[in-house]
Structure 1
């Protein structure tokens, strides 16, 4: 989504007078190949190549005369900021503190429904802008949170592996040799494009990293008008559409990795536990129980994938970023390169030992399938998070609205992930019914249609809290 946010909440975005057409950025042949199971992005959407870089948003300065006129207001605001800080709180408006991470027009469609505590995903594929705890927002990406792909052509003569995000990022330079810098960050992004039409987004990989594989990732969240149950759910679904244009069968394994973190340095606080689970209807994955700092309510993530007769799901419940870990990020990657899956016995591992202070623990869920020559296949993942309590800094505690339907147990994340994988097609039908009449209305210019839907992101990512009264 073409925007960034300032601390005052103003929308800061850049756009052309007309958005790029699909066939300007994606070849028509690829669009035709992906035209099943909604793998093709819509005609009206905000688009960017993954190789593009967003400009930093410029700050404005005031003149001496303007500063003099606002002196009384500034003193009152400065006094308020100091009072909040003395009680351990951060003022919502603080012009005196320079943010370490400046906003940029690099965001994307956020994850989850309304009032759930949000996570955003940038158009280059990074998960960032963490706002699960009210009043706290961390803009920095958690680079361990990625989708990756491993491809072996029949006979083993051709192999491809890459994280499905461009690798030019400062966060990789800080990683140890056993960490995520050891992964294959081969995606250039000049043949991959992002398409945003809230509450969905499409990323099309047009022959990256395998020239003979066309790939579309569709991100779906349940933001549906007049549906006040499912629109409150903290879930998102990622549907991968695969098309093999080659002459050989291809074994394709997609992996979703996730750190036990809620942004910033929260992964280092210790006491975090991962455990595998096998749910209903062929759905399995890993629970990541996160112990939050400062007595904030805990958060439990569920990363899951859907297994069927064509797709096999395996998990690695825990891996770390250093050589002190029992399984490192480097070893996890090597396992996938060699075999394209994890050991099925990992489902019997049970809960891990709580993490130590300073350590980062992650999990991986793999979904593998064979795609026949000129064949097509669909692989589906879901992400859910159970954060039932909302605790404000002045002491009041409430339950989020989704708990009215799923209860307050941390393990409700499993049910949320399962229902998302079972219901996402119905959600898309309802989203289409809502959006199609407006998108087809010739009275409205293209930029208006795109902006009308995409600016609704703020109802999810603007710090909204929806509680049970």
Structure 2
């Protein structure tokens, strides 16, 4: 298919309105509206997060906070406090539709009936006066939910006479370093009368004032260890806080809506600010007889009759502008309704926006930052209407741009549709992964950026994980990838001698073992946590002593060279020079672990690499191959900086060249067994490690000299395919991390070896594709995508799944490694917009 220009795209958009009643849009994940899951994946460890499978696509910009609307129509995901998670349905945050025609009248909230609160049986059914939309059953569909991030579609069928559909999105635009941060959700409703008689219709949106809710009320947020040995802190959001809230009408140009305001202190505190719900005031001018109603305040704590009874009677709601301030236990919701009549064959498009302005994210006591979008809208917390107004003005252009950047992926019909679907939808984590994106500063003109490793392991940009998961950021928002790596470069020379207990030893029954938090020269594992001072206090995780890890320095060097060489914006010498001193320091520190002077750092027996529950001893294939690739990358950096910038790097070139010669001479001698590479040189563990040659993948990807000979790489990959993929559950789950050569487990109760890691699998698939083994690459990817999207794990993709239908560590960063497969399959085909110059 030829690529469409913007004008052709506009025509296409106009012809495929959101009232579509046919199949879901191409390359989208879809599910019958409200249909439950019979056997979804469940969590492996009781301490890990498991909100169940009712997850839909998040709405909201990177670092701005987001909300999630589920496949049953409910709003249930609220990531509005940077780095924190709250999951729960607010029934009064909802759309509804009234209809009256020849066959009578009906009104339904456009979600399935919410569950009772089991902790408060006396409260009864939430909003008992409301009528809820029927869920689909295996025999009958009442609609469809579909998502292709950042777009989602909900259609409602078989209940209303009208054709009813909604397209929802936020302006997630590659290469746009401002609009991609906006705290706004756009809902493009389309109503069509397919019958022979007029239809009276009314579309309603109700929304709770939640200002002041999303902040931690536990000022200590003390760290403690879970049963899996990982640290966590207490999060007690102020859910239900009402004092000082007020709602009032707002009219500004094309905007007609309601502001939901709250208390504000000086300086503004976390969680303080505004919400706005609004629609296009021009609808009343363009459609005679159409009327926009607004109710600034109604009580969601009761049965909801004060709003629902007039709405269910004729589609109206009480027009009121009551802006009184709430007291304690005094909740306030607001609503607007668009009431109209449609003649036979007539359609109408109704844009509705929800915006929020919660500018401050707070960390440890006294530490705070402003969000990126405040560079456009200011930091007073009173700009929700301005954000909504821009959305109402510009949403058609935003939608056009979304379609334009997605088009190259949609056109690649040589990639299976489930893979193209997952390419889009795995980007969800950039919004809902506890993401932080700060306002600009002189040192960071695009702000500082970070995504959590996951919600269970709540620390930012784990370097070993982003070795895989940052391929999406690199290809779509490369300046943010550079920002993260610059943060690591600043952190490498820093030190923090604070002693901390190491969690892994507790899980082994070995008592208290302490280590300093950060040793000077060691590459940090992560950029800190949301309850401390992210970017400044690194190495939050204490499950292992990360100062001893043997992959982190190599991971940093390889990512720096990768970003320099392959960013769609071109080679950035300033970035390379900024990171060079840290790369030298990191490699020199890692070389100190070369216990026997063979050129290769030695693993120490305790898990000291990304498989941090899997002990390795002596030289290991995984860390050794990464080390060799990193030395090649460092030599390439040194030569580039000397040639292009006149920097004298001759001493480093001699030093790294000597190490490289030694390492290459010993890697195969110590680890090659004639068919594949042993997991390590000293433990004698008889398994095929799936990701044994990640370093060779990176070297080949970056055009560096390969780590191993091609025939040995192919032999090792064949062993991995037979033992860990085809030999594990017949390949239906994906590639297990490590099995015996015959496909049997070394330890039937093992943790990491028997898990299928989603991001590792996507990285492996990219390696197979790079080596020309397309069918194997697609088979691996297809197996993992099926498990995630058929197993109720969509929009919460975990690190690991098992053969007994359990998962671990949802909302995981590494899964965006699926974009490595796009890179290897297409030869780094650029995405429109990703190569635009970033404007500070």
TM-score, normalising length: structure 1: 0.77
Query: Quick one: distance in 2 between partners of 1:175 and 1:434?
Result: 51
Q: Counterparts of 1:286 and 1:59 in 2: how far apart (Å)?
A: 40
Structure 1 moving runs of 4+ over 6 Å: none
Aligned-pair CA distance for 1:168: 5.5
Mapped to 2, the partners of 1:290 and 1:253 lie a distance apart of 29
The answer to whether the 8 Å contact 1:268/1:357 transfers is no
Pick from 391, 397, 408 the counterpart of residue 420 of structure 1.
391
Q: Structure 1 residues 265 and 392 mapped into 2: Cα distance closer, same or farther (>3 Å)? A: closer
Take 2:72 and 2:209, find their aligned partners in 1: how far apart are those partners?
A: 21
Q: Measure the CA separation in 2 of the matches of 1:186 and 1:234.
A: 28
Specify whether residues 270 and 103 from structure 1 end up closer, same or farther in structure 2 by C-alpha distance, changes over 3 A only. closer
Aligned to 2:309: 334
Q: Aligned partners of 1:125, 1:51: CA distance in 2, in Å? A: 7
1:250 aligns with one of 182, 192, 199: 199
* SS in structure 2 of the partner of residue 279 of structure 1: strand
Instruction: Spell out, residue by residue over 1:299-336, the C-alpha distance to the aligned partner (whole angstroms, 9 max, x if none).
Output: 3110111231324211111111356xxxx721110121
User: Are 2:437 and 1:466 equivalent residues in the alignment?
Assistant: yes
Task: Give the superposition deviation at 1:292.
Answer: 9.2
Greater C-alpha radius of gyration: 2
Give 1:301's match in structure 2, choosing from 272, 275, 281: 275
Other-structure match for 2:533: none
Tell me the CA shift for residue 384 of structure 1: 0.3
For the Cα contact (< 8 Å) 1:191–1:206, is it kept in 2? yes
Aligned match for 1:317, one of 280, 296, 299: 296
Cα–Cα, structure 1 residues 390 and 222, in superposed 2: closer, same or farther, change >3 Å? same
Q: Quote the offset at 1:113 in angstroms.
A: 1.0
Aligned residue in 1 for 2:25: 42
| Bigger share in helix | 2
Cα pair distance change 1:358/1:421, threshold 3 Å: same
2:104 is the alignment partner of 1:158: yes
1:240 and 2:240 correspond: no
1:194 pairs, out of 141, 145, 153, with 145
Offset of 1:407 from its aligned partner? 1.0
Matched, 1:430 2:401: yes
Measured against aligned partners, the alpha-carbon deviations of 1:343-364 in whole angstroms (never above 9, x if no partner) come to: 44x24x4x2222x322322111
Contact 1:220–1:237 under 8 Å retained in 2:
yes
The structure, 1 or 2, with the larger RCO (C-alpha pairs under 8 Å, 6+ apart) is 1
Equivalent position to 1:137, from 82, 85, 103: 85
CA contact (8 A) 2:169 2:186 kept: yes
**Residue 240 and residue 443 in structure 1: after superposition, are their counterparts in 2 closer, same or farther (change >3 A)?**
same
Q: Which of 184, 188, 192 lines up with 2:131 in the alignment?
A: 184
> Helix, strand or coil: the match of 2:59?
coil
Q: 1:288 aligns with which of 260, 263, 280?
A: 260
Q: 1:447 to 1:458 in 2, by over 3 A?
A: same
Do the aligned partners of 1:290 and 1:300 also contact (CA within 8 Å) in 2? yes
Matched residues in 2 for 1:255 and 1:104: separation?
28
Q: For residues 178 and 53 of structure 1, do their structure 2 counterparts lie closer, same or farther at Cα, with a shift above 3 Å needed?
A: closer
Q: Is the 8 A contact 1:121 1:128 kept in 2?
A: yes
Q: CA deviation at 1:276?
A: 2.4
Q: 1:291 to 1:123 in 2, by over 3 A?
A: farther
Query: 1:286 touches 1:302 (CA, 8 Å); kept in 2?
Result: yes
Distance 1:49 1:171, change over 3 A: farther
Higher strand fraction (1 or 2): 1
Q: Is the 8 A contact 2:243 2:330 kept in 1?
A: no
Whole-angstrom distance in 2 between the partners of 1:140 and 1:289: 22
Structure 1 residue 236: Cα displacement: 0.7
Give me the whole-angstrom Cα distance separating, in 2, the residues matched to 1:169 and 1:243: 31
Aligned to 1:203: 154
Partner of 1:403: 374
Say which SS state the counterpart of residue 411 (structure 1) adopts.
coil
Q: Deviations over 1:439-460 (max 9, x none)?
A: 1112211111000000000000
Give the root-mean-square deviation of aligned CA atoms.
Answer: 2.7
- Cα contact 1:267–1:359 (8 A) shared by 2: no
Q: Per-residue displacement from partner, 1:354-409 (whole Å, max 9, x unpaired)?
A: 2x322322111111221111211111110000011111134311111111111123
Contact 1:57 1:103 in 2 (8 A): no
Structure 1: gaps (5+ residues)? 1-31, 62-94
Per-residue deviation, residues 143-193 of structure 1 (Å, max 9, x unmatched): 221111111226xx6101001111163359958579512101142332210
Shift of residue 265 of structure 1?
A: 7.4
Report if aligned partners of 1:163, 1:187 keep a CA contact under 8 Å in 2. no
Of 346, 359, 363, the residue aligned with 2:334 is 363
